[in-house]
Amino acid sequence: MRATHVLHLGVKELWSLGRDPIMLLLIIFVFSVSVYTGATVLPESLHTAPIAIVDEDRSPLSRRIIAAFVPPYFQAPKLIAQSRMDGRMDAGLDTFALVIPSGLQRDVLAGRSPAVQLNVDATRVSQALTGSGYVQAITVAEVQTFVQHDQPSPLPPVELVVRMRFNPALTKTWFGAVNKVIDNVTLLSIVLTGAALIRERERGTIEHLLVMPVTPFEIMASKVWSMGLVVLGAGMLSLVFVVQVALAVPLAGSLSLFAAGTALYLFAATSLGIFLGTFARSMAQFGLLLMMVLLPLQMLSGGVTPRESMPELVRTVMLAAPNTHFVMLAQGILFRGAGFAVVWPQFLALALIAMVFFGVAHARFRSAITAMA
């Protein structure tokens, strides 16, 4: 292999990418607008949920309960009649419908345990799951305060002091922004390298390369380093200007260490893009292959769902996927401020996987090039 060949071919790839306005627009969009919107529209566990209340008691206690449901968790409660409750739930107007029965205050003061009915629209899963607990906690707290005549409740025998590390305010934007950058690094690294190979085939320039004194290894290596450089640069700019500046997300760790881990990961991801590109004859076929590969990689890597909640078989198989280790590395560095002494196992795993991926992709690429010749 000649380094000059790899360098010049890589520069050719960069010039080719620079003359493709659609790809340039995709890169800018994915690492700017996509990251920003993906982080800001991430729904909170409970935010301005619509709630209706049927007040059949009309007592000071029921009015106290109604007044307790306030933003930002709930919208201002809609006071409705019992006959309208089912119709509003069927129409999707209310996520929660609380029925305060007649005689609630009397039964509470008499020491009885009256039942308060809560109807939940379970099609809104994220709000229904956590919102039911919020409604129960608010109702019970107001009843207890009313019974004790606004006197503070006795101290519990044990006090639990909660310390939120790495995200004290539990701001989902922090998690969403970094996770979008991680996902988009995977997406663009595969798309750009695969598209570069397909572009050569569609434009007929692959035949020109075959008659030049270059080897398949040099051709593949040039596409890997050039497209990897583009994704690395765009990803780091996105972290600085979109995540840190626009979204004001504090990054705890070293950006240079993260860049080194990203470069190692891109070695594997771009090789995967070349591998998929050898099977596709057009961008449409490549897009179908990409969906079959990208979605499982992102969903099962641990970036969306913790790996501990997955079946043992899935966790074991996904250890062979490079983005599993990249997610652990990125979250460890950017969220928890981990140094190399902590994330070196992920660096080692990425290096081994990258060499295997590159070797397999090179063998497939060389076979495809030979068949074309």
Superfamily of domain 51-147: abc type-2 transporter like domain (3.40.1710.10)
Amino acid at 241: F
Summarised one tens digit per residue, pLDDT across range 47-78 is 788 999 999 999 999 999 999 998 888 999 99
Is residue 167 helix, strand or coil?
Answer: coil
Distance CA 330, CA 338 (A): 9
Kindly list the distances between the CA atom of residue 237 and the CA atoms of 30, 90, 319, 335, 338, in Å, as whole numbers in the listed order.
Answer: 12, 47, 29, 18, 21
Kindly list the distances between the CA atom of residue 365 and the CA atoms of 196, 197, 218, 220, in Å, as whole numbers in the listed order.
Answer: 13, 10, 11, 8
DSSP 56-75: SS-SHHHHHHHHT--TTTBP
Range with the largest mean pLDDT of 9-18, 159-168, 256-265? 256-265
Lowest mean pLDDT among 113-127, 137-151, 195-209, 294-308: 195-209
Axis-axis angle for helices 3-18, 216-237 (nearest 10) = 50
DSSP 122-146: TTSHHHHHHHHHHHHHHHHHHHHHH
Global confidence as pTM: 0.78
DSSP 90-128: HTT--SEEEEE-TTHHHHHHTT-----EEEE-TTSHHHH
- Specify the higher pLDDT residue, 148 or 361: 361
Per-residue model confidence (pLDDT) at position 206: 72
pLDDT of residue 226 exceeding 90, the answer is yes
**Which one-letter DSSP state was computed for residue 359?**
H
Instruction: Show me where the domains of the chain are located.
Output: 3-42+171-372, 51-147
With contact defined as beta carbons under 8 Å apart, do 259 and 232 qualify?
yes
For residue 296, give the nearest of 278, 272, 331 by alpha carbon: 272
Lowest mean pLDDT among 70-74, 186-190, 212-216, 341-345: 212-216
Summarised one tens digit per residue, pLDDT across range 321-359 is 999 999 999 989 998 889 999 999 999 999 999 999 999
Instruction: Describe the strand order of the beta sheet including 51-55 as a list of residue ranges.
Output: 78-79, 51-55, 96-100, 117-120
Summarised one tens digit per residue, pLDDT across range 32-46 is 999 998 888 755 567
First to last CA, the chain: 20
Average model confidence (pLDDT) across the chain: 88
Distance CA 267, CA 358 (A): 8
With contact defined as beta carbons under 8 Å apart, do 57 and 108 qualify?
no
Helices and strands in the chain, H and E counts? 15, 4
220 exposure class (CB count in 10 Å sphere: 0-12, 13-18, 19+)? buried
What is the average pLDDT across 240-253? 91
With contact defined as beta carbons under 8 Å apart, do 71 and 108 qualify?
no
Instruction: Please give the share of the chain, as a percent, with pLDDT higher than 70.
Output: 95
Residues 6+ apart with CB under 8 A from 251: 178, 239, 243, 244, 334
